[in-house]
Amino acid sequence: MPRSSLVSDALVPPYQSLLQTAIKSAHTAGSIMTSATSIDKEVSVTKVNKKDLLTKIDPMCEAAIKSTILESFPDHLILGEESVEPGASASSDALSSYLSESESLNKPLWIIDPIDGTTNYVHDLRYSSPSIACSINGSIVVACIYDPYANETFTAIKNSGACLNGKPIHVKPETCLEDSVIAMGAPPGKLSAEKSIIGFEALLPKVRTIRMLGSAALMLSWVATGRLNCYWEWDLSSWDVAAGGLIVEEAGGRMRGLMMDDGRFEVGERRILADDGRCGEEVRRILKESGVFLK
């Protein structure tokens, strides 16, 4: 939907001020993450299945992010992972309902993941991060992902580029697939496990190596910085990809929806492929030919 048809520009805070709030909230959550004790980090609940973990810290981070956003923008809407029932359909339904509320109320919508990479967090594998995105008229305009262990803040503003700790970043396209480093993930669930195994087997002989790092937000950020050439995953939620998708695109990479005929990416797309602008087409073809998807 064209931007002008809904929220008028006069009602939208400047993107810079949205970004400052995104950074402040990500840093607040990051310091809660790193100051938590190992007891706080123990798993308090498993969600839909035993692999889907939740600690006491996830809702604390979500609450801190929400209050930081609402301090600056009390009337904005916020969709957060920990406020939605577990499972793919609850996640998709929540996104649709928040997007239509955002449209009908003419209000920006924030899409947040308080800790992306919760399994890493629980196991003290220091690779997890808050992920914060702001959407206007259904399009993500501002993004921030903060790695509190490496003190790396990845940001993007729509049409203004992406940065790491304030310095512009760009993807680094590899000339051939066999020199490319590909990342992937395997969220819990029988179908996504099957798809991930098929894709892994098909891709491994054709690339330099494959990594599974456990945080969609950080794997997307690493495509944007050129540390990875490509990242694909079968079953993600809007809060996993909202911020990272914009960061990849603003760094010159490309986001694709694997199930879309035209490969278009939208924030509700659960099967994604991010690339450095060069190897994605070939990776997509290999995944398709191996039967990961049919269209």
Question: Which residues participate in the annotated binding site for Mg(2+)?
Answer: 81, 113, 115-116, 240
Q: Residue 214 binds what, of ligand 2AM, Ca ion, none (CB under 5 to 8 Å, by partner type)?
A: ligand 2AM
Q: Does 237 bind ligand 2AM (CB under 6 A)?
A: yes
Least separation in angstroms between residue 117's CB and ligand 2AM is 5
Nearer to ligand 2AM, 12 or 33 (CB): 33
With CB under 6 A as the contact rule, the residue among 174, 235, 250, 276 that binds ligand 2AM is 235
Q: Which is nearer to Ca ion, 62 or 240 (CB)?
A: 240
Q: Is 174 in the site for ligand 2AM (CB under 6 A)?
A: no
DSSP of the chain: --GGGSS-GGGSPPHHHHHHHHHHHHHHHHHHHHH--TTTTSEEEE-SSTTSEEESHHHHHHHHHHHHHHHH-TT-EEEEGGGS-SSHHHHHHHHHHHHHHHHHHT--EEEEEEEE-HHHHHTT-S--EEEEEEEETTEEEEEEEEETTTTEEEEEETTTEEEETTEEE-----SSGGG-EEEE---SSHHHHHHHHHHHHHHGGGSSEEE--S-HHHHHHHHHHTS-SEEEESS--HHHHHHHHHHHHHTT-EEEETTSTT----TT-SSEEEESSSSHHHHHHHHHHTTS---
Among 62, 82, 147, 240, binds ligand 2AM (CB under 6 A): 240
233: left (phi over 0), alpha (psi -120 to 50) or beta: beta
Out of 59, 80, 148, 185, the residue judged to bind ligand 2AM by CB under 6 A = 185
Q: Binding of Ca ion at residue 113 (CB under 5 A)?
A: yes
Which CB atom, from 69 or from 207, has the smaller least distance to Ca ion?
69
Question: Is there binding between residue 214 and ligand 2AM (CB under 6 A)?
Answer: yes
Nearest approach in angstroms of CB 88 to ligand 2AM is: 7
Are the beta carbons of 69 and 245 closer than 8 angstroms? no
Stretch that binds ligand 2AM, among 31-39, 149-157, 234-242, 243-251 (CB under 6 A): 234-242
| 116 touches ligand 2AM by CB under 6 A | yes
* Inter-helix orientation angle 15-35/57-72, to 10°: 150
Cα separation of 278 and 262, whole Å? 17
Report the residue count for the chain. Answer: 295
- Which of 25, 55, 118, 129 touches ligand 2AM (CB under 6 A)? 118
240: contact with Ca ion by CB under 5 A: yes
Choose, by CB under 5 A, the member of 58, 62, 82, 116 that binds Ca ion: 116
Near Ca ion in 181-220, by CB under 5 A? none
Q: Please tell me whether residue 188 binds ligand 2AM under the rule CB under 6 A.
A: yes
Which residues here bind ligand 2AM, judged by CB under 6 A? 52, 113, 116-119, 185, 187-188, 214-216, 233, 235-237, 240
Which residues here bind Ca ion, judged by CB under 5 A? 113, 116, 240
